[in-house]
Amino acid sequence: MARKTAAFEMPWQYNFPPFFTLQPNLDTRKLQLDAWCALVLNYHRANRLHVLDINEAQTGALFHNSAINRKLSLEVISLILDELRRTGNVEWLDKQKRRCWILWRSVDDWAKVIYRWAVDSGMLNTVCTLYELIHGHDTADEEFYGMDQELMLQALKILERQKKAELITIDGNSGVKFF
């Protein structure tokens, strides 16, 4: 699990009870959904979270404000995630739409971030395990620290297609060599 960053400050709307009820006026609803989309992306980025599980979402801090006793319905959570998918910020991990990646960066952008780290930290022509990249001491301050392993693999596959990396397996462990 990704480590948490400093306390995330929820926007003012989060303490406004109507924010948790789908608004009937279409203009207001559009603003509401836009605010929720921004909140989901900012919350996940601040807390270095990459996967959202629908079964857990409704009871988690993001969609449940216990201070005002409000919880977002699954219907509204689905609308938010559909909007985020439309904008390229969500990718479903299963056909039932129960788990998804929250992409505050595109997979292409993640590939660039990871490669920039490899260059800046002198890791070219060096093999790193996926565990070292995702959980290692050398990456603890990086934005990709704690990343979902499948998301990391997708980013590394982009680097492999660009001839900037090669995915390898050593003794059953996945790794990457950067060029």
Confidence at residue 55, expressed as pLDDT on a 0 to 100 scale: 86
N-term to C-term CA, the chain: 29
pLDDT digits 0-9 by tens, 38-84 = 999 999 999 989 999 998 988 889 999 999 999 999 999 999 999 99
Confidence at residue 4, expressed as pLDDT on a 0 to 100 scale: 41
- Exposure of 83 by Cβ count < 10 A (0-12 exposed, 13-18 middle, 19+ buried)? middle
If one compares 173 and 131, the residue with the highest pLDDT of the two is: 131
Give yes or no for a contact between 51 and 103, defined as CB atoms under 8 angstroms apart: no
- Same domain? For 96 and 119 the reply is no
| pLDDT band (50, 70, 90) for residue 152 | very high
| pLDDT band (50, 70, 90) for residue 172 | confident
* Mean pLDDT score, 105-119: 96
- Same domain? For 115 and 96 the reply is no
CATH assignment of the domain containing 65: 1.10.10.570
Residue 1 has pLDDT above 90, yes or no: no
Confidence at residue 58, expressed as pLDDT on a 0 to 100 scale: 84
Looking at the domain assignment, is residue 7 inside a domain?
Answer: no
Give the contacts of 151 (CB within 8 A, at least 6 positions apart).
50, 101, 107, 110
- H or E stretch including 53? strand 51-53
* Mean pLDDT score, 25-48: 95
Report how many domains make up the chain.
2
Looking at the domain assignment, is residue 173 inside a domain?
Answer: yes
- Percentage, residues of the chain above pLDDT 70: 97
Final residue belonging to a domain, choices 52, 71, 102: 102
Looking at the domain assignment, is residue 1 inside a domain?
Answer: no
Residue 99 has pLDDT above 60, yes or no: yes
- Same domain? For 147 and 77 the reply is no
Final residue belonging to a domain, choices 85, 102, 119: 102
Residue 5 has pLDDT above 60, yes or no: no
Host domain of residue 31: 12-102
